[in-house]
Amino acid sequence: MKTIETTKKGKNFTAVNVGKFSEVKDYVLHMGDIDIPGKVFAGQALQTTGSELSFQSLVPGQDSGFLHTHKTHEEIYFILKGEGKYQVDGDIFPVSEGSIIRVAPEGKRALKNTGDSEMLMLCIQYKADNFEKEDAADGVILNDELKW
């Protein structure tokens, strides 16, 4: 089974490598009695404290396996490769490379690859209603010299 490689750690960062995107299909996510082929969560390996993220590879005709909701987490789905259909609350619409979908916690969601090649998706989940307007100005530009 494929595993995430930690490439570097420091006081304020963690860097990992999930491998080539063409290898995401080699992961298997174990969730209790369910095994999901082609899915990997990376938040724990990255030591994230405010979000979770996962990659999922879907072969032609494959769907995400079930509808699901969340208790408190909103999700953003990025379609990185391929094409398919996305379903939220019974509304079904086409998605393809470059599509980005935000789903509120209570949205009943699922994804299906309807194309003839692999579909690759990145999902980021985080606690909903947690970002304030002033948070957009949270970054601080430093005058420190870049050292390459």
**What is the per-residue pLDDT across 106-120, written as a single tens digit (0 to 9) for each?**
999 999 999 999 999
Residues, the chain, total? 148
Q: Are 77 and 121 in contact (CB under 8 A)?
A: yes
Predicted structure pTM score = 0.91
DSSP 71: S
The CA distance from 85 to 93, in Å, is 5
Strands 73-81 and 119-127: antiparallel
Which stretches in the chain have pLDDT values below 50?
none
Per-residue pLDDT tens over the stretch 38-64: 999 999 999 999 999 999 999 999 999
**Rounded to the nearest 5 degrees, what angle is found at the Cα of 91, between the Cα atoms of 66 and 68?**
25
Q: Which CATH superfamily is domain 5-19+27-129 in?
A: Jelly Rolls (2.60.120.10)
The CA distance from 79 to 118, in Å, is 11
DSSP 48: -
Domain ranges of the chain: 5-19+27-129
